[in-house]
Structure 1
Amino acid sequence: MNPAPPVNFIYRLALMISAALLIAFIGAAIFSPQAPNDLVTVTGIDANSSDNTYLGSDGCAGCHIQAYQDWQGSHHDQAMQHATAATVKGDFNNSSFESPSNSALFSKKADGFYARLAGTDGRVNDHKILYTFGTEPLQQYLVAFPGGRLQQLPVAWNTLTNQWFDPQPELLAQPGEWVHWSEGGKNWNSMCADCHSNNVAKNFDVASNSYRTTVTELDVGCESCHGPGRNHVEAVSSADFNSALDKLHISMKVGEDSQMLVDQCGRCHARRQQLTNKFEHGSSQLLDHYLPQLLSPPTYHSDGQILDEVFVYGSFVQSKMYHSGVDCVDCHQPHSVKLKVEGNQLCVGCHSSEQFDTPKHHHHGADLSQATNIQQTQGTQCIDCHMPGRLYMGNDYRRDHSFRIPRPDLSVAHNTPNACNDCHTKKSADWAAAKVEQWFGSERPAHFSEILSAAASQPNDSVEPLVSLLNDLSQPAIARATAASILAPNISLPMVALAMTKATNDASALLRSTSIRSLNGSANKIGPLVDRLNDPVRAVRIAAAEGLVDVPKNLIPDALSDAFSRAHEEYQTSLQVNADFPSGRMAMALDQYRRGNLDRAAEEYLAVLKIDNGYNAARMNLAQLYYGQGKLSDTEKLYRTVIQREPKASDAHFSLGLLMAEQGDYKQAALSLEAAAVTGNNPRAWYNLAVLNQQFGKVLEAEKAYIAALQLTPGNGEFIAGLVSLYGQQQQWAKALRLIDRALVDYPTNLSLQQLKRAITQRL
């Protein structure tokens, strides 16, 4: 009974991944770490700069007057500003804030605004406010920290109520934890800057653990979306100007493909992983610089509805609207970023008001007597049913952009949310489902969410439906990619491997990269992966290089050795870019482990814990590494530390139980295995506990454990064989045969059960 191999799981997901991200439209800038009171140093606008291709937004105003005027005063324009009397909205007149999570005093001094609160070491200090961050419904504040860092205060100003508040009171973070305001979880350089400023280069240095972040403009200006403008100005000013789209030297032009435009917006309005140090305009694919999050918990509900902060893109690309050619600027004014029209008038610009903007469709009137959620309107608005929302950052209500039909029937089956009960909170999902059936009949249009939801609640019965979704070209690429990710543990099944291999050549770069990663556990991965080393999209090449890290170089065709070297370099760059995140440093550790550099891997796991001492996935993997090196005492200490921090960490209990059994401490082994079985519904833990009890003659305890394992995985031949062996030891052969016969009713083609029955029959 050996501990399991290294794993890639995370026990303790940070409650805030995007805490420093304020609202969808925010900007950012850099500061001088040597002199934190200096003004922002902006590069690239001055003609003498090393990068003089950027003009600044004022350089666009001369020709694009209306666009410039619309942009002024927008969320983009006010994304980040110097902290002045004109820009600071919060009360700094010796005001205070107190909560279980944070306490702060706010004051003014001759040289600016200050907040007094506990920092990294737990000591209370005055921190000068350098920048405001955002404008409404909340304004946040940034202060300087060593190592080129800007940190976001944990207390913000609520512009709706004009008072201080804690946007995330549930964190209860302590100094030294990654989610504490003085640590990486609220660091502007890594969490905010890339999306919220112009031409950002994070420039994190792993060796010195410091930043030299640069931008070319303080806020989200014209060139944040349209790219550097100098070549554009020179082109349109030339005597031989050609007005063709490809001659304008600018991004996001009128007349461009709608999906290309959505990808441009998705660069910031998506939950995604960064792949490069900075974004380069002109790249045709979003996945040349970013890898969007799939529709999986804990960021999305299991059916793809929004859960954590996911910033619209992942929701919108699920929708029928996106696949029908609708893009962001069909609804949003591109420069003021306001809705073009308010209310249902926005929707009936495309959808028939006679058919949809009527009680015959929405079945709601002005009676709010049954509604308990004040965020909803009267049920007559299209967005009430088709764009339900959630509060983020304490007071920022954001709507789901997947534009789906409410499905309370799926809530009944899989405990997913639905728009009906978001409003009618005192009613049940059964009630809502009955109402929908009463109004629209019993048939619902097929939707991929049915398969994804079922996969979360009924994983043993979902392989074939997931393969069907993966193969269905009519379904959204992000849904198919999510199916590919869920199927990864089943890659040894021929039908899964075949579908996954086919998907590596799909038109969607997201699906190609996901299917490549899902093939990593396949014995036949080399061929499909080397075929994608020259893929036109960087994220796909990185996935291929990552998958080939542990493959002997002589198995990579000579003709592709250069391609592998280039892709591997891109992969290493992506690791370095994310090395300031605990998950990024974890990826570096796994990379070293797969390459056989165990000492380096151990160093990286320890580095993860320096970034976030609560990141128990690093402890688990380090424990497995130490186990392989024979450091059993260190292994045990790590398991016990995980359990101390997370008493319900089933895998830690399980691994500790196996380790204790191997060392002969059977009493502790039994306690740990039982804890693993109970806390995680772990059938393998029940089975090992049964074997242990059987070895020591605890027949009743062994039988109960075998039965518990079989209740979780009915028909498992190994578990049935174990229980049969127990009955055999007691000469209870008739009982053993009844057990096998019951299993064969549900699994008539199970060869191991058939062989087991023949063996017992022959014995009798």
Structure 2
Amino acid sequence: MLPFGYWLEQQQWVPVVHVHREVPELDREDPFAGAGELKRFAPYAQGGNGCHTTFSLGDMFTREPLRLARHAPWPMHWNLSDYIEENRNEFLSQIPAFSQETALGNVSEEHLQDLGRILTSMDAREHGVTLGISCEACHLGSRRHAENPTRLPGFSPRSPHLRAETGGREISSGRNHTNLNWACGRCHAGARSEFAAGMGTWNSIEYTDATRGACYSQLKCVDCHDPHKTIGPRWTRTRTQDESVCLKCHREFGSPDVRKLHTHHQAGSPGDGCLECHMPRINEGLQDVVRTLSIFSPTHGEILEASHPNACNLCHVQETIDWTVDWLQRWYDVDEGRLGLDRGYTDRTKSGGEGWLTSDNEAVRLVGADAVMRQRAGWSLEFLVASLDDEFLVNRQFAARGLEKMLALDLAELGYRFYGSRPERTRGLKRVRELVLGSGSVVAGASGR
């Protein structure tokens, strides 16, 4: 993968993030160095094409069994040797010192490691079903369907090389809850840095996040997401459409009066919505902070204790954690005495927004900056300008884009680019501070917290 990616909205090449573990600026490799000088380089065939192109499920079982098994509906056993001998025999000849006699005898650990490296670096141009995501990624058996349209593709895998432990239950190949969600979970799964409630701080493991929250014993990914349409740069479904999915189960909240007794917010206000409280915007997307797929309660104790972004203060950024817990106690019987707030808050007089903006956790800082910009909190400008010099590149990127939208600025015209080195940013930051903050160190209106 290149050290740069093309940012469609901005129409420019910018350094990529999250190809490797994100590190502070001084530990990050210079993306402007020549490719041959980079210490870490991720070949696309190994790090990207498993999800971003379509391979047969047999190849996926062979290449990435752990990821596919993470959310598999049953324990499964894959006959690797027979599959390779029958379908990918050409790879055996690429293993040094490997012969047919070796294959029939004892295979060494070294042979297996060599084979593993070969399998994980399969070139999609040669071995993939298609480049990009196509029917076979979800609908299995598409070749047979193309040859005979009356043979419909299924959603559960079938192969003489596969054994599933189903406890005697028959496996359906239809559009049931299990099959549809696993189709998504085969790719949208993995591990990320996490907030205190267990959800990932950044995107692409949506199904893993979903399983860590509530509702997915009944909810299907396709209830909200049409897999045959791209989302585009913005979520286009209306609040009513989104909440209609929630109300299929939580029917009692279809009544505005009953809902108000639950939310304690005026009908139609953001605080009266299902998603603002139970799926808040705390996940770093490609260019926006988006909703977490972990459905959880605003009363989640670990989130509150850790000073990680909570649903209440994402709207009420100017209020303190004590203010938040006081209202949660009145409305939902949260026991403040059982919360270890002192572990996460050195100064409980700070507003929630300020606490996040000055957090030691880079993911918390990123979400905090997004929250105060969404609320157009004038008092936060001094902290937001400081975010333009954050030690993490992605934090600077999100802060820069948000400030430009919030204040109708063009930071490049002021000489600032988020991917510049610290010395390169200094002059531009000076001009930004002078324009946004004036000669004083605190922006006017900061006292209006």
What's the TM-score, normalizing by structure 1?
0.29
Q: So what's the TM-score if we normalise by structure 2?
A: 0.46
